[in-house]
């Protein structure tokens, strides 16, 4: 494997999981925000429930978008692992979940 491929693989092996973790952090933050907004709406006397409804709806949409982004990140991870396997840029021991899936797929085609 060339040094260029090794460097790219090493960089991606750090960046992809980091991106996945940051998306998870954003999902957690949005969920915490939702809890705080709904709790504040419920617990604030004299404020009609309708006042925060649009905000709650926007947070729910935000959560949906983030969950979609999380799924996309996981698909990206799988696609990059496939590319690495094809180019010899991945030591299968470094990505056990992907390596196991690849082994099962290879066994099915044999």
Find the domain containing 42 and state its range: 3-109
Could you tell me which residues come within 8 angstroms of residue 10 by beta carbon, excluding any fewer than 6 positions away? none
* Tens digits of residue pLDDT in 35-74: 999 999 999 998 888 889 999 999 999 999 999 999 999 9
- Structure tokens of 81? 């692992």
- Structure tokens of 60? 């729910």
Could you tell me which residues come within 8 angstroms of residue 66 by beta carbon, excluding any fewer than 6 positions away? 23, 26, 27, 30
Span 85-98, mean pLDDT? Answer: 61
Query: Total domain count for the chain?
Result: 1
Specify the pLDDT at position 90.
54
Span 19-24, mean pLDDT? Answer: 97
| Of 12-16, 80-84, 100-104, highest mean pLDDT | 12-16
Q: Are 73 and 16 in contact (CB under 8 A)?
A: yes
């Amino acid at each position: 494997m060339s040094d260029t491929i090794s460097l790219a693989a090493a960089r991606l092996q750090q960046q992809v999981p980091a991106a996945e973790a940051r998306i998870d952090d954003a999902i957690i933050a949005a969920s915490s925000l939702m809890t705080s907004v709904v709790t504040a709406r419920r617990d604030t006397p004299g404020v009609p429930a309708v006042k925060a409804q649009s905000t709650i709806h926007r947070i729910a949409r935000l959560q949906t978008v983030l969950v979609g982004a999380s799924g996309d990140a996981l698909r990206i991870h799988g696609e990059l692992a496939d590319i690495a396997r094809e180019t010899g840029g991945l030591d299968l021991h470094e990505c056990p979940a992907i390596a196991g899936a690849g082994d099962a797929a290879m066994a099915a085609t044999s």
